[in-house]
Structure formats: C-alpha cells, structure tokens
Amino acid sequence: MSRLWPIPLPAAQQAPLSWRLPVPEARPHRVWLSPPHLAGGEMAALQATLESGWVAPAGPVPAAFEAAIAEATGLPHVVAVASGTAALHLGFRCLDLEPGDEVWTSTLTFVASIAPAVQMGARPRFLDVCPQSWTLDPNLLADALAKAGRSGKLPRAVVPVDLYGQCSDLLTIRGICDRWGVPVLSDSAGGMGAMQRGRHAGVGAQLAAFSFNGNKIITAGGGGALASDDPALIARARHLATQAKEPGPHYQHETTGFSYGLSSVLAAVGLAQLPALEDRVAARRALFEGYRQGLGGLPGLSFMPEPAWGRSSRWLTTVQIDATAFGADRETVRRALAEEGIESRPVWKPLHLQPVFRGAGKSGGQLAARLFEHGLCLPSGSALTAADQARVVGVIRGCCTE
C-alpha cells in the first residue's frame, strides 16, 4: 500500500482542473450556497491513482482514505462508500432493521436521514429539536423512550443528526438510549470538522455516517463513509457494501448486499481534500463572523446558536428572519438574493410536514416548523470572497425596512 500511495508528481503536472473541463457560461459573479472548494492536490492525486492502475472501488486508495477519515474523526474503524445515503443504508442493515420496526430521528433534517430505513419497511417517528442547538432534543427523546419502553414499543434505532455543521448532543443521547438498549446511528453527513464535548462529530454513536458530496465541507466529488469504534460492525458493513460475497473461489452468498464501494478515483480526491479540513472549518467560522458583523445589528434577524458543549464547523451560516421586526419575510429575502445571482435556501422543511411522511409519528412541539418558516441558509463556501460576502450582506440589509 505504501509503495503505491502517495505518488508525488512534478509541480508542472499539477494542472488546474479548469484546463481541461468545460467551464459553463455562468452569469458574472454567481454566488453559490456551498460549492466545492478544491485544495490544490486533487489533480496530482488523480493522476497518481490513474497511473497506478488502481481505479476500482478497492485497493490502496480507498484504504488510505479510510485511514485518513479514522484519523480525522477519531473513529478507528471506517468503510468508505459511494455516498452518505449509502452509509446510512448500511448502518440500518448492520443494526438489523426489519419491516415494521420504528426508527426515530430529528424532524429538522434532510430526507436521507430516514429514507433508507423507510425503504426497508421501517416506520419513522420524527422528534422536535431543542433551541440551544436546533438538533435532536435529548429531554424529549428521554421522555419518548420512557413512554415507548413502558408500552414495549422501543425503536430499532435512534438517528440524531448533525445540522449545518453543528453536532447533536451525541454523548447525552447515547446515555439516554443505552438505558433502553436502543442503538444510535448518527447522521453526521454534515458533521465533518464539527465537535461535541471535545470529540469529533459521530464519536459516541454505535455507528456514524459521513458524506463527501459536492456541497459538503470536504468533498470527494461524491462519496461517504460509515465509521464506528466497533470493528465487527464495520466488518459487516464492508461485507454488505461489496455484494456480501462469502470466502471461496466461486461466488457464495448467505445474504444479499450492495455495490456501495467508493471508486479509487473519488477516494483520491477525498484524500487530497481531507488535510484541508481544519482550514475549511476556520474559513467557514470566519465567514460566520463576517455575517454576524454585517447583519448582527438588524432588527428581527438572528443566527443559529452554538451550544457551550459544541464547536460548529459553520458549514452553512443560517439565520432566522422575524418578518414583523425585520420588515420582510424569509422568502422576500431569498428572492432578492436570487435576483442578484446569489443562491440561498430555506432551512430544511421538517420531515413530519413532508407529504411523503403524512401520518408518521411525531413527538414534541413546533420549534422545527418555526425554524423552517423563518430560516435561511446563506452562501457559506469556504472560498467565498470578502467582496462576494459584502454583496450578500448588502442585499439582505437592503431588504430590512424597519
């Protein structure tokens, strides 16, 4: 493995990607929500991988990517897979989810937190979030588990979610779930670089899923990982991710698996990106401070809080706009930004309000629904320039009529 990776290339061969890829005719100064931010070493990593011939979803490059993820997160056992959603799917399989089982998650999340479980026949229950972090409310979870425990209807798994780079209170949640013997699968897809109680996102769960999709703080150009401190769980996940082949010269199967391996080509991009993680967190946190300075004094505008027990990566800077105090509502601001070629996006629509989950269980109050109604994610790419951030701030300030 060490012989093949890394293979250094002369600097002259490290051509920027833009040399060869067609550049779309973008409108001038289009500002995206969270575009990929190349670290500089991707081309060399790709070239080395292609020259080595190891391009399949196996071999030294995915293995090196897994080791780098283990080092970055502190979770010792990692399997790299094709997406964060694939990692969650494998996680549910490793927890022996069966049709009819309940799976509980925060209602303020992306559909992928629960979609694989629902596709496996699980019944979802959506729990509200807490005001300190906007992530799964541990007190609500404790009450709901006690109630479910008394009636013998405990969920098969609880899925706390790291939201916009902010961790759930995972250790507290794990403690609560341990009392009832319910395993925790952390959706840490948006959690790379975020910390909770001195640990990286995902640490403390039985299983944690990460994403390296194009919009995430670190991207492989697409990809994900499932990680754990339990080697047996990750060995099982790896078996399932590679078609559940039993040992032997012919193909022998005792169960069916998936083709979820991460291509070496993508793993090489991820490997080149990961060393920049701390820089990316610093850049996104600095952007957040810039927004706070530019917008913090406006009436009716407030920012996603950061609890004392965590360090958010500020993957996406997220604000709340109280229309009465601000003089314009969230959608007015979003459309004003769009007219200037600036992408922004409402906070997740809570899953209990999604038509596809009509009739699903719901616990807790209306905080997530309010956060959706008033919440807007602002351009937060780690390569966003000060000039572009000033444009975003200027458009939002211009909407404030109070």
Ligand X SMILES: *Cc1c(COP(=O)(O)O)cnc(C)c1O
Q: Site residues (CB under 6 A) for ligand X?
A: 83-85, 109-110, 112-113, 161, 187, 189-190, 211, 213, 224
Min CB(239)–ligand X separation in Å: 21
- Give 108 or 337: the residue with its C-beta nearer to ligand X: 108
Min CB(109)–ligand X separation in Å: 5
By CB atoms closer than 10 A (0-12, 13-18, 19+), residue 293 is exposed
Min CB(299)–ligand X separation in Å: 31
- Give 224 or 379: the residue with its C-beta nearer to ligand X: 224
- Give 44 or 161: the residue with its C-beta nearer to ligand X: 161
3-state secondary structure the chain: CCCCCCCCCCHHHCCCHHHCCCCCCCCCCCECCCCCCCCCCHHHHHHHHHHHCCCCCCCHHHHHHHHHHHHHHCCCEEEEECCHHHHHHHHHHHCCCCCCCEEEEECCCCHHHCHHHHHCCCEEEEECECCCCCCECHHHHHHHHHHHHHCCCCCCEEECECECCECCCHHHHHHHHHHHCCCEEEECCCCCCCEECCEECCECECEEEEECCCCCCCCCCCCEEEEECCHHHHHHHHHHHECCCCCCCCCCCCCCCCECECCHHHHHHHHHHHHHHHHHHHHHHHHHHHHHHHHCCCCCEEECCCCCCEECCCCCCEEEECHHHHCCCHHHHHHHHHHCCECCEECCCCHHHCHHHCCCEEECCCHHHHHHHHEEECCCCCCCCHHHHHHHHHHHHHHCCC
- Give 85 or 107: the residue with its C-beta nearer to ligand X: 85
Min CB(357)–ligand X separation in Å: 15
The residue number with the shortest CB distance to ligand X is 84
- Give 54 or 210: the residue with its C-beta nearer to ligand X: 210
- Give 85 or 318: the residue with its C-beta nearer to ligand X: 85
> Half-sphere exposure (CA, 13 Å, Cβ side) for 19?
7
Min CB(88)–ligand X separation in Å: 7
Min CB(345)–ligand X separation in Å: 12
CB atoms within 10 A of CB 190: 28
Min CB(209)–ligand X separation in Å: 7
What are phi and psi for residue 287, nearest 5 degrees? -60, -45
The answer to whether the beta carbons of residues 190 and 315 sit under 8 Å apart is: yes
Min CB(335)–ligand X separation in Å: 24
- Give 5 or 221: the residue with its C-beta nearer to ligand X: 221
Min CB(16)–ligand X separation in Å: 25
- Give 138 or 165: the residue with its C-beta nearer to ligand X: 165
- Give 33 or 154: the residue with its C-beta nearer to ligand X: 33
